[in-house]
Each structure stands twice: as C-alpha cells, then as structure tokens.
Amino acid sequence: MIKRRAGRTGQYLALVGYLVFLGFPLLWLVSTAFKPPRELATLHPTWWPKHPTLDNFRQAFDEQPLLHAALNSLLVALSSAVIAVLLATPMAYVMARHRSRLSRAATGWVVVSQAFPFVLVIIPLFLILKRLHLINALPGLVMVYVVWTLPFALWMLTGYVRAVPRELEEAAAVDGAGRLRTLVSITAPLLAPGIVATGLFAFITAWNEFFFALVLLKTPEKQTMPIILTHFIGAEGVADLGPLAAAALLATLPSLLLFALIQRRIAGGMVAGAVKG
C-alpha cells in the first residue's frame, strides 16, 4: 500500500516536472513580451516584469503587418489541414483495410519520404509552382503544405482506421447497410478523434512552417507569421527582443486556442463509444 502510494506520488511529481518543463518557455515568452527594454538585459532577470508595458506590442504592430500575416497563416493552415484530411482519410482507409504488397510498399514510401530534407525539393518545387503561376500566392503554399503533410497524415490515419474493429462494419453490412452507408455512418464517426488529431497536426505544421513560406512568398501582403517574426532579427542574430517576444506570443495563441478547443475530441475514447451502444 505504502509502496503504491509512493509510486503514485513519484508519478505525480514527474508529471508536474514535465508540465513545468513544457510550460517554462511559454511563461518566459509572456514575461518577456511585457518587459520594458531595461528589464530585458539584466544580470538577474525577474520572473515577472517589474514595470509591465504594452510598448513591445505597440512597436511590433507599428513595425510589421502582424494581423495581416496572422490572417494569411490562418487561411493557409486551415486550408492545408482540411485538404490534407479530406485526401488522407479515404486513402488511409484503403491502406488499412486492403492490405497487400502495394499498400505495404506505399506505407514504406510514406515513411521514407519523411526523411527528405527541404532543400532537396525546394528548387524543383519552386520551378513547378512558377510554371503554374503559384509563386507568391497562398494557394501555392497550401499545395506545398498538403503534399508535405499528407504522408504523415496518411500514416497517422491508417493507424486510427486499423483500430476501428472490422466487426462493426461487418455487423452493419449484415444489417443491410451498403458500403458507403457503413463508411459514412459507422466508420467515419468512430474515426473522428483521429481525423481531428490529424487535422491538428497538419494545421500546426503549416502554421509554424518557415522555409517554404520564405522561398515562395515574395510580397509583404502575402507573408505568413513565421516570416514576419524574422523581421525582428538583425545581422549576426541580434534581436529586438521585446517586440519579437510580443509578436511570437501572438503567433502562439491561435495554436493554443485551437488545441484547447478540440483537445477533448482527441482525448475522447473512440472504440469505447462504439461498444457501449
């Protein structure tokens, strides 16, 4: 009994430690965003600003088109996530349910493709998009992000499909449901947490992506948040730290909000719901 209690205390301590470890950068970002310049470079930094100021936010908004960039990022990330999920779901279903040499080879290729470095693909990609007149255009960037996230999304969703018991689909078939009806009414709802998780992965990947956006977007009105953030950094890595932290905090909020809104969907048990009925 004592042993079990000690074990549980240890688990909680480890969890708290992990949460602090994860939360510290965010806490520091918030603190830095509200600090005046003189509090940013002290030998003994404080946890919280002694004289909190909104000047960093004011300066960040004055210098860079943050709202416009955030809207661009939102459009690109949402579009990429939705398209990636729409494409990946039926593909994942086929790969999970019809296992063959071909589907195994496809899965292998998916895993290998994740190892390609960005620089390997950027120039051919640039030339293709140029021919399609999609340089400096958000749909071009969406296309790239969909292609880039699709393999991993597919791999993720295949796992979720495999976790849906085949017996449920067979039972539906016995009850007279057609294949499409079974997919839409039985499988898809059970896959919802997986679809949400995959969509979130695609969204965050696109929201944070820097290199493709840097290369493909030319004019300020098209640029996304990660590009705008680099404008607060000068030669030799010198940074305008206060405004940079303020802008970075704003860039972090949408991902956090989205995650807070849908995390229950991800955490919700899927197969548990199926067997209750």
Partner 1 sequence: MVSPYPRLSRCAAAIGAALALLAAGCSGGGGASDDGRITLRFQSLAWQQDSVAANKQLVAEWNRTHPDVRVEYVQGSWDSVHDQLLTSFEGGEAPDIIHDASDDLADFAYGGDLAELGGLLPATLRDAIPGASWQTTTFGKGVYGVPFLQEPRMIIANRALLVKSGVRIPTADTPWTWEEFQQSAKKLTGNGTYGVAWPLKEPVSSTLNLSLSTGGQIFQRGADGKVTVRFDAADQAVPRAIHDMVDTDHSAARTTLGMGGSDTLPGFFGGKYAMVPLGFSYRQQIQQQAPKGFDWIVLPAPMGPDGNRAQGVSPQTLSVSEDCAHKKEAVRFIDFLLRTDNVVRLAKGDWMLPTATAALRDPALHTDRNGWSTGTALAPYLRSAPAQSVRGYPEWKDKVATPAFQEYYSGAIGLDELRHRLVTDGNRVLARYQR
Given the rule CB under 8 A, which residues bind partner 1? 37-38, 40-45, 59, 62-64, 72, 75, 78-79, 82-83, 122-123, 126-127, 130, 133-140, 142, 185-186, 189, 192, 196, 210-211, 214-215, 218-220, 222-223, 227, 230-241, 265, 273
Residue with Cβ nearer partner 1 (16 or 239):
239
Residue with Cβ nearer partner 1 (30 or 40):
40
Q: Are 227 and 274 in contact (CB under 8 A)?
A: no
Q: Are 166 and 203 in contact (CB under 8 A)?
A: no
Closest approach of partner 1 to the CB of residue 11, in Å: 32
Q: Which amino acid is it at 249?
A: L
Distance CA 184, CA 256 (A): 30
Tokens representing residue 250 in the block = 């704003």
Closest approach of partner 1 to the CB of residue 59, in Å: 7
Residue with Cβ nearer partner 1 (42 or 100):
42
Closest approach of partner 1 to the CB of residue 218, in Å: 7
Distance CA 209, CA 116 (A): 16
Residue with Cβ nearer partner 1 (110 or 243):
243
Distance CA 187, CA 28 (A): 43
Closest approach of partner 1 to the CB of residue 231, in Å: 5
Closest approach of partner 1 to the CB of residue 181, in Å: 9
Nearest C-alpha neighbor of 198 from the set 90, 75, 125, 98: 90
| CA angle at 100 for the pair 99 and 103, rounded to the nearest 5° | 80
Q: Are 234 and 162 in contact (CB under 8 A)?
A: no
Residue with Cβ nearer partner 1 (108 or 268):
268
Distance CA 264, CA 200 (A): 12
Closest approach of partner 1 to the CB of residue 20, in Å: 24
Closest approach of partner 1 to the CB of residue 98, in Å: 25
Residue with Cβ nearer partner 1 (146 or 249):
146
Residue with Cβ nearer partner 1 (11 or 42):
42
Closest approach of partner 1 to the CB of residue 258, in Å: 11
Residue with Cβ nearer partner 1 (63 or 147):
63
